[in-house]
Structures are given as structure tokens and as C-alpha cells.
Amino acid sequence: VSVLRVVRAGARTSVEDLGRAHTAHAGVPAGGAFDPVALVAANRLVGNPDDSAGLEVTLVGPELEHRGEGRIAIALTGADFRARIASPAGDERSLRRGVVALLSPGERLRLGAARDGARAWLALAGGVAVPRLLGSRSTCVAGGFGGLHGRPLHSGDVLSLGPVASDPSAGSWPHAAEPPRAPDVTVLRILPGPQMEIFPAEPLSALESTLWDVDPRSDRTGLRLFALDPAGRRRLAGIPGVAPEGTTLGAIQVPPDGSAIVLGPDRPVTGGYAKPALVARADIGAVACLRPGDRVRFARIGLEEAIALVDQREAGLPPKAKP
Amino acid sequence: VTRVGEDAWLVPLASSRQVAAAWRELSARAGEQVRDVVPGARSILVVFRTPPGDAERSWLSAVITALEADGDLAAVGSTATRGFREHDVPVRYDGEDIDLVARHAGMSADAVASLHASVTYRVSFVGFQPGFAYLEGLPARLHTPRRSSPRTAVPRGAVAIGGEWTGIYPATTPGGWNLIGRTHLRLFDPTSERPALLAPGDMVRIVRE
């Protein structure tokens, strides 16, 4: 059995897979990796099925020590956390993103503070072996269940891994080495939201013409954005709410104060704020990698283009692991 | 029916009965391509795993049309025959805000308790947090605006009023509703086949303690 000890938990590290299905009627969010494509890429590299549970790390990564037997295939995708592997003798080697590495017994995987972006996904061969609850191993903090004891990791926790499904891949995921984040302003592509028919065109153009700042209170429920220019804020303030309705990943809620919240995987399943637009699925990985203080702009695209972008991103994935 | 992004459609409906009927029917007939069917106050959101096309659109229209033809979408007759359940919820009316609600309604705290307990409520939808059911049917006199500043911790089991809705907090959490009482019932259990005690379309009777 492969066992890892959490030497340092990092700022927020949680067990995530691809999330839940058919649980919204019970108020349970889908959850799962903020960027599912990045987790799938990491899983395929280590030979796991796509929905194996890995770790999502945020802003400051964890330090994990291999306390079991045999070597563990690992792969990291997402932001650059200056990951390296330290031997018991004190030698360090760096872990490249998007390719497989092997962790030997006694070695430690050390992640530092994110140098670009905000999140990364770590796949471990065999997957994190926690019980599946409501169809998933993802951590549901709002419900206090799933993942490891229904909460992010703490220092001192111990993670067991499941049986290894197949050999690791010799391939790579180039996207991991190229953070989707632009140096100055991240442009998120958006589609019109469900209430655009009842709103004037104004909110969408106001969203697009405003420069946004990422608030530190952002988390997996949503990325909070504030308009940097007061005119933009005024144009979006006071939009009336709607009867509470189901929410989607990436939906942009505009509360009456004129701020914007891009909903994440742990969002409440229903919400009553107006949603003039939503972030295209191909750019959810970019949303996951935004950090407090980052600048954001929105740019409208069409549905066909959005679907093509999803296909394009998924076409770049390494091949599925063969059992 | 409105397209919501690459993967979902939002179906507007006229009442919570329609929402509950449509949720049950769509969930029962959903294939592997459906990720979730999300009941809202006056709508159903159908989320697919991959961008849906004409076939999925036809499927959705067929289910809604069949429900309408059946008359069920307009009026869900018997709760029992459709699998909706009836619950007796014991409530002790000793919430911190019951006097505030009483002042707002212009009646005594005891009258607030009697009036609140006299109604059979319908679960409209579940949201905000796991197992939190929005109960429809609150008498108009008891409608009370949410607190201007939410509490950082509302205790598990708190029975509360938020605007036109009443509900029960399944776990200790921040919350802005007015607390009028509490129940010892467990509303959410992730290890259960039916994790939320209260599902859309269910009826709730209050048993005053």
C-alpha cells in the first residue's frame, strides 16, 4: 500500500476528482477539480482513469512524504509551484510540470508558493483512496463530507493510494508548461447568460468594457471581481435579481452592488442574482489560475466558437490510460 | 427554453409543482449524457456532460410535452403516487428573532408560532447549502426581510424566515434569515441513499413542541 504523510498542508489543498452528478436536488454542489481538464491530463500521465482523485493545491502548495513501499508515479499540471523532490539524503531535483516523475520511499515532494497562477493538480498513481460519497471522492466543505474527512488537508494527515491501474504514460501535457494566464490582463471569453432576453444589452457591454480586479476573498465557490473604473461599477449596479435558479460553472453573477462573481465548482446549486453572462468552458482553467490582484477583461464569443474551443483544449490531452 | 452556455438548458416553469414534477420525470428518464437536473424556484436547469445537440433538445421537449399532456405539469395531484413524501417536523419556537418577527407582523410571539405551525408547506427547491430546503407557503403576515447583516454562525436545526420563504438550517453556517425556532431532525446525511431529508415536491407539516 502506498502511503503519503502530509508534512505541510499548504494554503489550501483538497482531494478532488471530477465531482458529483445528480446531487443538485439535495443542495450538493458538483464540486471536483476547478480545472477538470488539467486533472484529467495529470491522471492520464500517471496511468489513472480520468476520474481518479488527486490533489488540488492553491497558492501555497503542500509537502508530502512517501511513507510506503515501491515508487509512486506522480504528475503535476497547472500553475508553477516550484515543485521539487527531496531525497532523504537532502538532494533535490525539480519536478517538471506535465510529465511523469517517480517518488521513491522516503522522498518528499515539496511545493512552494505559486509563481504564476493560483492552482495546480497533482495526480498520484492509484489515486487518493478515500471513500466515494454520493458518487465522488471530492471534498464537499459545505456539507462537511467527501475527500479526507470533509475538509482540506491538515499537516499530519495521512493519504493512502489505491491500486495502480496501468503503467504511467511516456507522454506529456504541454499546456502545463504554458500557463493560460496573460502577463498583464487575463481575457476571459464569455457567452450571454440566461437572462439576457429580459435585460437590456447594457450589462453585457458594461461587463466587456470594464477592467476587473480579482478580490482576495475569491475561493472555490466563486471568483470575486471588482470593477476598477467607477463608471463600469455604476453601469452594473442595481440589476434586479431573479427567482432562484440552477447555477452553472463559470456563470457570472452580478449582485446589486455592481461587482461580479464567477461561480466555481463549490458554488451553491441555486442562486438569485442576475447572470448576464458566463465564462466559456474552455477558459475555466484560466479562471482557476487567477490570483488576488490579477486584472481581468471579458470578451464575448459565440456558442459555436465556445464549443470548438472546448474540443480544441481536450484534443491536446494525453491518450487515455490503457488498463 | 434558454441555452445556458455550452452544456445546459434552462426551462422556465410556472409553479413549484411543475418544477417538482419536471425534476422527477427528467431525472427518471435522464441518460448517461445528463449530468444533473437542477430544480429552481420557477425553472429547471438541465446540465449535460458534453454540449447537447438536436437529439437532446428533442428529448427535453418530448418529456416536457408529455408532462403537459398528462396534466401532471399543471397540477401534481397526489404526492404519494408521484413519490413525493410527507414529513412531520417537530419545532420548538424559541428562536432568537421570534420577537422581531412578531413586531414586524404585529402579533405576539406565540401567535407567530401558532400561525407558522398551522401551514402545510411544500418544498420548492433545495439550495444555499446541502439539505437546505426552501419551503413555500409561508403566510403573508409572516414574510420578514432578511437581516441586514448575516450572522456568522446559525446553529444546525434552526428554523428561520427569509422574505417569503421559511427553511431549516441543516448545519451550522453563516446565515441571514430570522431565527424563530429549532428542530432536532437530521436534514442531511451524505451516507444515505437519500442525502437530503426534504426533496422538491415534498410536503412538510410542523408539529409544535
DSSP letters, A246-311, are E--TTEEEE-TTS-EEEE-TTS-SEE-SEEEEEE-GGGHHHHHT--TT-EEEEEE--HHHHHHHHH
Say whether A306 and B10 touch across the interface (CB within 8 A). no
Please check the confidence at residue A93 and state whether its pLDDT lies above 90.
Answer: yes
Please report which residue ranges of chain A form alpha helices under DSSP H. Answer: 36-46, 202-209, 230-236, 284-288, 303-315
Arithmetic mean of pLDDT over chain A: 92
How many CB atoms are located within 10 Å of the residue A12 CB? 18
Which chain A residues have any C-beta within 8 angstroms of a chain B C-beta? Answer: 21-28, 30, 133-134, 140, 142-146, 191, 193-194, 197, 243-248, 250-251, 268-272, 278, 280-281, 303, 306-307, 310
Option in B8, B44, B132 nearest A27 (CB) = B132
Low-confidence winner among A85-89, A140-144, A205-209, A284-288 (lowest mean pLDDT): A205-209
Instruction: State residue A310 phi and psi, 5-degree precision.
Output: -60, -50
Chain A residues touching residue B4 (CB < 8 angstroms): 193-194, 248, 251, 278
* Average pLDDT score over chain B: 92
Whether A191 sits inside 8 A of B5 (CB atoms) is yes
Quote the minimal CA–CA distance from B108 to chain A in Å: 31
| Whether pLDDT at A216 is above 90 | yes
Q: How confident is the model at residue A235 (pLDDT cuts 50, 70, 90)?
A: confident
CB pairs under 8 A between A and B: 142
Say if residue A31's pLDDT is above 90: yes
Decide if B6 and A143 are in contact by the 8 Å CB cutoff. no
pLDDT at A178: 53
- Judge: B195–A142 Cβ closer than 8 Å, yes or no: no
Which three three-digit cell numbers place residue A92? 533535490
- Rounded to whole angstroms, the maximal C-alpha distance in chain A is 65
B44 vs A contacts (CB less than 8 Å)? 246
Residue with cell 498583464: A184
Distance from the A310 Cα atom to the nearest Cα atom in chain B, whole angstroms: 9
Mutation to test the B interface, candidates A20, A149, A269, A284, most B Cβ within 10 Å = A269
What is the interface pTM, i.e. ipTM, of the complex?
0.94
**Are residues A278 and B191, on separate chains, in Cβ contact within 8 Å?**
no
The pLDDT of residue A199 is 62
pLDDT in tens, A115-150: 989 999 999 999 999 999 999 999 999 999 999 999
Of B120, B116, B121, B122, give the one whose Cα is nearest residue B97.
B116
Q: Cβ of B106 under 8 Å from any chain A Cβ?
A: no
pLDDT tens per residue, range B29-83? 898 999 999 999 999 999 999 999 999 999 999 988 887 776 655 454 444 446 7
User: What is the nearest CA distance from B103 to chain A, expressed in angstroms?
Assistant: 27
CA distance B54 to chain A (A): 14
- Cβ-based contacts of A140 with chain B (< 8 Å): 130, 190
Give the 3-state secondary structure of residue B58: helix
Q: Which of B6, B40, B133 is the closest to A245 by Cβ?
A: B40
Question: What average pLDDT does this structure show over B167-190?
Answer: 96
Nearest CA in chain A to B24: A25
**Percent of all residues in chain A with a pLDDT value above 90, rounded to a whole number:** 78
Partner residue opposite B190 with nearest CB, options A24, A134, A306: A134
Q: What is the pLDDT of residue B80?
A: 43
Whether chain A has a CB inside 8 Å of the CB on B156: the answer is no
Q: How many CB atoms lie within 10 A of CB A115?
A: 10
Residues across chain A: 323
- Residues of chain B contacting A144 with CB distance shorter than 8 Å: 171
pLDDT tens across B69-121, in order?
Answer: 766 554 544 444 467 899 999 999 999 999 999 999 999 999 999 999 999 99
Q: Are strands B203-208 and B86-91 parallel, antiparallel or unpaired?
A: parallel
B190:A28 CB<8 A: yes
Cβ <8 Å between A26 and B130: yes
CA distance A54 to A62: 13
Which residues of B fall within a CB distance of 8 Å from A303? 3, 6
- Of B4, B125, B196, nearest to A278 by CB-CB distance is B4
Backbone angles phi, psi at A175, to 5 degrees: -60, -30
> What is the three-class DSSP state of A43?
helix
Assess contact for A287 and A262: CB atoms under 8 A. yes
Q: What is the pTM of this model?
A: 0.94
Range in A10-14, A212-216, A252-256, B155-159 the model is least confident about: A252-256
Residue A34 pLDDT > 60? yes
Q: Check CB contact of B41 with chain A, cutoff 8 Å.
A: yes
How confident is the model at residue A116, as a pLDDT?
83
pLDDT at res. B71: 62
Q: Is A261 left (phi over 0), alpha (psi -120 to 50) or beta?
A: beta
Mean pLDDT score, B4-28: 91
Strand-pair partners of A245: A271
φ, ψ at A306 (rounded to 5°): -60, -45
CB contact under 8 A, B10 and A194: yes
Q: Is the pLDDT of residue B163 over 70?
A: yes
CB contact under 8 A, A281 and B6: yes
Cell numbers at residue A128, please? 487518493
